[in-house]
Amino acid sequence: MGIGRLYTYTPLPHPTQPRDVEPSTSPAQEWQRYLDARQKVDDELAQLAKIDNSLVADIFRVHQEILHDRLLTDAVRAAIDRGISAATATQQASSDLVQMFQNLSDDYFASRAVDIRDVGQRLLAHLNGVSLARQLAALPPNTVLLAEDLTPFDATHLSSDSVAGIVLAGSAPTAHTAILARSLGIPLICGVGSAILHLPPGQLAIVDGLQGRLIVEPDEELLESYVQTRQRLLAFRITAESHSHEAATTLDGRRVLVHVNINSQEDMLQIASSGADGIGLLRTEYLFQERTTPPAVEEQIEAYRLISQQMPGEILTVRLLDIGGDKPVRYLPQMTESNPFLGVRGIRLLLQHPELLRDQLQALVSLSLESSFTGVVRILVPMVSKIVEVYRVLEVLDSIPGYREEHRREGRLQVGLMIEVPAAALLADRVAPLVDFFSIGTNDLAQYTLAADRVNSAVASLASPLDPSVLRLIAMTCQAGNVAEIPISICGEMAGDPSIFPLLFGLGVTEVSVVAPAVPLVKEAVRQTDGDAARRLAANALRTSRAQEVHRLLHPE
Ligand code: PEP
Ligand code: MG
């Protein structure tokens, strides 16, 4: 939550006609200018990649690769050799590449276009001697920055000392810029439309990142209430962090495991200090993407073993490969699907490529049997929509060398389902007796229940996981899980908001899995939750008709 004065950011336009080679400069000299600029950008990126945040550091490493990529370098060289200045050559080569990538049907490559534009922008800043950084670095304290969009390049020049909040007309919460803003601790709201760019600069504004609201010229009373809420949140964080390594138990004595979501080996660096009770969701896509062949069984065992050696607690929940939707891989050429989120994704894809399913199950069974592994491997099946998919996975598991039914009975290896398609929630009572746990993926459950694409900012506001339709499906899942006496976790983003925990607990959720920075906050929310009050809250929420009403129940003041 940030409070400050509005400032509209317009990136300095790239010179449309940068000077061409002056008679006194030769292609050799222009090439040298390009190499000098490239070196400076390389140094800049190397410095930025030292940041203590793996996700952010990866962005800059990718940018370094692009900087040295032959596609870019050769195109610049060829243009300079034709007698064009280094700046024009860079501008042309980078915009041609951006266009080429944008036109690719492969989502992964198309999304790289923004990174190429960013690298081009950095090079041009050096070649033209103008610095976008100057505009951003010179912002006065307590600025609320309004912009169409920001590139990661822009975002690296921001400082939380001057920027109180960012509001973007476009972009999405999972874009690189949002990741950077989060790592800087700057509240950001995105996808709000270009009307914000016409707001008069200098007005007082509140950026409410919790509710995704920009409030311009608040009255005294509202401003005061926001100042107080901000102080309360800060105090809450300080208390929470001082207890983060203690178990979280509700006021009525129920222990709630607060697990952590992990997306890569590097994420493990953050979790030791988070106080997480275990790993509630290891998204294994990182092991399979950005390579030309799938990892062999041995390589997978090694990767899971490494995670298990560094993890807190006993539980290692590994989700089977969830490829498809917005996460393609190169060596599995999916048909071009007009609705990839409704296509061959998750378990559907694994069942079409049984060798991938078998190898991953083999690796997980092997890890669970290693004498040095003393925890529990929970295998999580993504995108289940049919009961036969569960039967098929259990059949394949049965055929894995070394696997015996006792492993499941002894609790060393468990099999659970992602409940993220409404069909799975509606059939939860039928599938619960077949499995050992449920994990509710509310990111997808909200998308599929409300028919609102999770990566389309135009419908993002429709896909609230607090919508009573989604809550009813969560309640249904919990009821079935409770009857079968299996743990029911929530691993979607909503679980990371501590104010939502009492509602989830009241609905019957028994565990949660959240991003590392949210672990202390959610643990603290568990400690402040009373079971009876939570169940009353849940019953009231289930009687509402709109997400806004649920929101008001959670934030009554
Ligand atoms: C979810 O759908 O809520 C989930 C946790 O999985 P992912 O975000 O990886 O699809
Ligand atoms: Mg999902």
Q: What is the pLDDT of residue 287?
A: 92
Nearest CA-CA partner of 121 in 78, 163, 150, 79: 150
Ligand nearest to the CA of 446: 1
For 125-134, 330-339, 432-441, 489-498, which range has the lowest pLDDT when averaged over its residues?
125-134
Q: Is the pLDDT of residue 484 over 90?
A: yes
pLDDT band at 307 (very low <50, low <70, confident <90, very high): very high
Structure tokens, 466: 């607090």
Residue 27: count other Cβ atoms within 10 Å of its Cβ: 18
Identical fold at 1-242 and 243-554? no
Best residue among 420, 438, 488 to mutate for probing ligand 1, ranked by most atoms within 8 Å of CB: 420
**Strand 188-189 versus strand 204-208 pairing type:** unpaired
Q: At what angle do helices 442-449 and 468-483 cross, to 10 degrees?
A: 130
CATH number of 243-554: 3.20.20.60
**Strand 213-216 versus strand 488-490 pairing type:** unpaired
Best residue among 326, 341, 349, 418 to mutate for probing ligand 1, ranked by most atoms within 8 Å of CB: 418
pLDDT in tens, 41-50: 999 899 888 8
CA distances from 345 to 278, 327, 350, 384 (A): 27, 9, 8, 10
* Environment of ion ligand 2 (residues, CB < 5 A): 420, 441, 444
Residue 39: count other Cβ atoms within 10 Å of its Cβ: 12
Q: Which residue has the higher pLDDT, 125 or 183?
A: 125
Q: Evaluate if pTM is beyond 0.95.
A: no
Nearest CA-CA partner of 20 in 79, 84, 80: 84
Q: 66 with 115: CB under 8 angstroms?
A: yes
CATH number of 1-242: 1.10.274.10
Q: Which residue has the higher pLDDT, 490 or 11?
A: 490
Per mean pLDDT, which of 11-25, 118-132, 258-272 is the most reliable? 258-272
Nearest CA-CA partner of 388 in 348, 356, 349, 420: 348
Q: What is the pLDDT of residue 324?
A: 82
Q: Is the pLDDT of residue 119 over 80?
A: yes
pLDDT band at 175 (very low <50, low <70, confident <90, very high): low
pLDDT in tens, 29-72: 999 999 999 999 999 899 888 877 777 788 888 899 999 999 99
Nearest CA-CA partner of 163 in 330, 16, 177, 176: 177
| Bridge partner residues of 167 (DSSP) | 146, 189
Q: Where are the chain's structural domains? A: 1-242, 243-554
What percent of the chain has a predicted confidence (pLDDT) above 70?
92
Q: What is the pLDDT of residue 132?
A: 62
pLDDT in tens, 250-289: 999 999 999 999 988 877 877 888 999 999 999 999 899 7
Q: Whose CA is nearest to atom 8 of ligand 1?
A: 443
